[in-house]
Amino acid sequence: MLSDSLANAYSAAQGTVEVTTLHIFGMGVDLVGFQGGIIVALLMGFVTAKLDLFFEKKVPEVIRLLLSPLLTTLVGALLLFTVIGPVGRGLSSGITNGLVWMTQNLGVFGYAVFSGLQQLVVITGLHHIFGAIEAQLLADTGRNFINPLMSVAIIAQGGAVLGYLLMHRKNVKTRELCIPSFISVLFGITEPALFGINLRYRFPIIGGCIGGALGGIVVYLTDLAAIGFGTTVVPGIALADPSNHGYLNYVIAHGIAITGGFVMTLALGRFMEKAPEEMPAAAAAAVEPDSGRTEENGREEDFGRQEELEVPEEEVFFGYAKGELIPMEEVKDDTFANKVLGDGAAIIPSEGKVYAPADGTIISVFDTKHAVCFASSFGTEILIHIGVDTVNLQGKFFTARVKDGDVVKKGQLMIEFEKEQIEKAGYDTVIPMIFTDLPEEKKLEPVSSGKASPETRVAIVRSLKG
């Protein structure tokens, strides 16, 4: 793509070099290099990988070593100059021009919208394309306004975490979850904060988005930009454009963003958490403990027949997949291995099936079918996550056999997935089971290793009372 035999793209744009044109199938193809074409490189890498896999399967083994790479390169080069190159250049130019247009024509509103909603893109897993766009911006304009916008969006979610932490500072589990998540945010990693706290409790994500929008306004008003990309928040200050007091403006923008996320989370939490907190009191007021009766719509019904479910001192969770049981620390992903979302166990599966680890209820099945939230019949909540970063597959290779609200029995099939296809796509298929909200009076004892099946124990939850 950058061969000296091709005309330099920058020189060709300036008209200082002669461009050779080939006619292929009646189409005029200019032999111009792809300097600065980051998105073209990404597209070409994807296509080449697919071509390589295709020819490795189709070419006979006796000539595969010689012919497969040759065909991959030949077909890939043809597609590069006829399809991928023009499409990638158009896409690169369109995205860059669109973002520049938004900031130039929508002004402060465009900046605020971008930084306010950027972290929602992170949830979808599509945020990685921003790196290519940033590189394209630097190649085209020399300044990268996206980096500080993303950075204030990130720190605002950290502010939301601090707001939630202040509201529940007496809860040990909340402190164990919030503090490591906030530290990750300082280095530009928001997934633990997003999935462990802000999305889970809803109002912190809203507070964080508002804080991000406020930070974006400051970025606009101070004309803050970066001269590179790849790092944000604390280490990202090294990339700030020093012109026009850039370092000071970087600190101010982040200070306003984190304060905005913090304050808005506290404000939203005042009324968004009222309803669930008042429910137990209302339920208790409706029940007469001595008579065993409840009053509803002005009449009394016999309540004594309903036996209250007594929580046992020991609750057992069985194998939710067949395979090898490993400690959570051995999962090849920092979020799981460091137990950011909670402690638990993990299974390297031998087949593509996930079962219920105990009797209980399905709280929710993710839209992408790669994870399921489950509550045991005694109220213990767990998250079963199939694979690492498999959210990027957008549901491909996954089939849900249950739906939200279903009551299931131990060993009942919940999710099926195509294990081999997911591994071929480059994803680890390890299945962590995380206890996300274990009360302080309970203790988790995971079984460290061994064979796993729906008949074997993988974790025990014990009561600490007494």
Answer for the pair 463, 314: CB distance below 8 angstroms, yes or no: yes
Structure tokens at 171: 């809860």
> Residue 346: is its pLDDT beyond 50?
yes
DSSP-assigned states of every residue in 425-452? TT----EEEEE-S--TTEEEEE--SEEE
Residue that has been written with the tokens 């950075």 in this structure: 151
Answer for the pair 372, 362: CB distance below 8 angstroms, yes or no: yes
Express as a percent the part of the chain with pLDDT over 90.
44
Give 285's pLDDT tier (boundaries 50, 70, 90): very low
- How far is 21 from 425, CA to CA, in rounded Å? 37
In terms of pTM, does the model score above 0.75? no
Helical pair 38-58 and 85-105, crossing angle rounded to 10 deg: 150
Residues 6+ apart with CB under 8 A from 181: 161, 192, 193, 196, 197, 340
pLDDT (average), residues 338-346: 89
pLDDT in tens, 214-241: 999 999 999 999 998 888 999 999 999 9
124 vs 69 pLDDT, higher one: 69
pLDDT in tens, 286-296: 333 443 444 44
Structure tokens at 408: 């299931």
Cα dist from 388 to 299, 323, 348, 366, 428, whole Å: 53, 17, 12, 15, 6
Give 127's pLDDT tier (boundaries 50, 70, 90): low
Residue that has been written with the tokens 């009561």 in this structure: 463
Neighbours of 243 (CB within 10 A): 11
Helical pair 274-286 and 246-272, crossing angle rounded to 10 deg: 20
Structure tokens at 178: 């919030």
